[in-house]
Structure 1
Amino acid sequence: SSASYDNSSSDAEDLSPEDCALRSARDTEGYSGSPKLKPCLVSKLEEERDRRENAARLKSRRSQLTDQGNGSSSGGSSSTESNCTPCHHPAGGATNFSGTMTSSYGDGGSVAHSANAACSDERVTLIVDSTRFVVDPALFSMQPDTMLGRMFGSSLENNITRPNERGEYEVAEGLSATVFRAILDYYKTGVVYCPPSVSVPELREACDYLLIPFDAHTVKCHNLRGLLHELSNEGARQQFEKFLEELIVCRMVISAQRGDRECHIVVLLDDDTVDWDEEYPPQTGEEHSHIVHSTAMYRFFKYIENRDVAKQVLKERGLKKIRLGIEGYPTHKEKVKRRPGGRAEVIYNYVQRPFLRMSWEKEEAKSRHVDFQCVKS
């Protein structure tokens, strides 16, 4: 009965994987009389080979990792973590800022501070918009010219800032917690990133209040239009103050020396020419108008936003009745018409040019009053 068994099946099942591999090799070399392996056994051989290859790869990878770990420990740790112990959130949902500062920032120059240099065990709690911020005061010493740097940069014992009854400091009144959180990033990274929920003018106001420079190197905004508008306002203020000192004040002084208490200035291009007929001058409505030939100032006043900035600067300098705009100004005569009766009429060419008008009159209301006194004859 044993002869009826399938020899190929029983022999193959009793063989070890190595014997099966040897037998398979003999079959491929031409031993046609030997029985062939079943597909299931071929799969077992492939799985065994894959398992051995995987084990070899894992062993090699483990030895590499071990060698790397020994090398890094012998050469010193490359970790950049600060040795500062992070402070915990107090009651009320405080925001925690560690004193680390390992940053290098943009095109305005690179600044790098070590983490340990800006870190201390001392912590202060700042309250802004009913939100608590737990901060290392050493963080502010890196920017001593800012308001927070002046308040907390020196020793707290010698600081004029006084805490409340719970030892917390209420600062930046009127600022939102979102804006103040963005401002704190400046002390850590040197850059203020404008949050999406904060307008650029609001961030600008906060930077001015906290004495933080507002420029393209320290402020980054997704809203480029708003950022460039604020930068243009600052640039326009500086540019107009330069025009004021170099080109405008001297004309105002000339008017004041004549006894006038107001001044009217027209801004023409550098190549504009004024040629009026001496017998028939144009009617401008101004007895004494000063002419300033400046293409740069003409381009400056072309923008209404720049005129608004200039008006604000003149107000800050104490001037009144300020008017800035663009109006037609006669440059030269085009032709002369003869009206019935022999009267001549001169037609002038007008160009649109900026003008400024301002006054420094103090007793404006009294100047309009006419006092009629009765005099006995």
Structure 2
Amino acid sequence: MDSLGLCILLMVLCFQWTTAPAAEEITWTYTGLVGQTEWSEYFPDCAGNAQSPVEVVTTQTKYDPSLLPLTPLGYSQHGNKPFAMYNNGHTAVIELPEWMGLGGLPWLYTAVQMHLHWGSGGPSHGGGEHTVNEMSADAELHVVHYNSELYPNMSKAMTQSDGLAVLGILIVTGEETNLAFNNILNYLGRIRHADQKVFIPAFDVQTLLPEDLGRYFRYNGSLTTPPCHQSVTWTLFNERIQISPAQLLKLETILYSSKAEDPDRMLLQDNYRTTQPLNHRVVFASFSAESGRELTSGEVTAIVIGVMCGCVGLAVIIRFIVKTIRFFTLLHRESVVLGRPSQ
């Protein structure tokens, strides 16, 4: 190759090196040019065989009696120092102090942050990431921890197979306002745009969790956003948390994925990843499928109606039997009277 050709080749390679963006510089989204269907092109781990979230089929889970109730450490010891909350363009992130952690796992995990995922259509239109028996939630809270026994920080741990532990809390709508979630929702208006940050009063993080921490699903998976590292031990609680329709509406409509200086505002909605194939992974349960199955409101109504109908039917049968016995008793007495000889 002559000197001119070599020069041209070097110029082309230099151009490619300087123009190809690094993965961490890519602005990903849930839809659009770098939407979740294209994540794997820029973040190879997103095409892995142990991705999250997943669909949990309770009858296909494996009961593991060694799965003990989780122990939140320091969740209620919030102190006086405020929490930092910011809009990263994908969700609202609340940073957690390092004295918060998680027990009940093979290693000690230190809390890092928590964040939310939600939809756009209101109640019963989806927004949570994990699904259970094909039922989706309206939103989902994730509390992220890193393995502080084996790794010095979150950045190092997130690339290791045993590096992270994430709690998944499914959120549905109910009639009453969830006062605990107001500790977050009441301040979202101060971080409406991407890159905005606010300090909020510290609060008891454990009030965001289900009361029953002993019934959950466990599996090995990944981060649900790029770079999708397959480093997460997932704990998905069986009990769902309720918020009011007004609280869900605020969550779905108050934040923007765009920056304050951007000319076009873009609502931050539908920030949830679709469920990924299990690929022969096993989802373990801390309770048996029979005892862990929750009845839907329709099933409860059907059972109540069935019991009521059964009681009514039983009452009718008993009344019929009593009347029949009385009839034959009276008939027997009349036959005895008629059969007596006259005096």
Q: Relative CO higher for 1 or 2, CA cutoff 8 Å, sep ≥ 6?
A: 2
More strand by share: 2
Alignment TM class, shorter chain as reference: under 0.3
Q: TM-score, normalised by structure 2?
A: 0.23
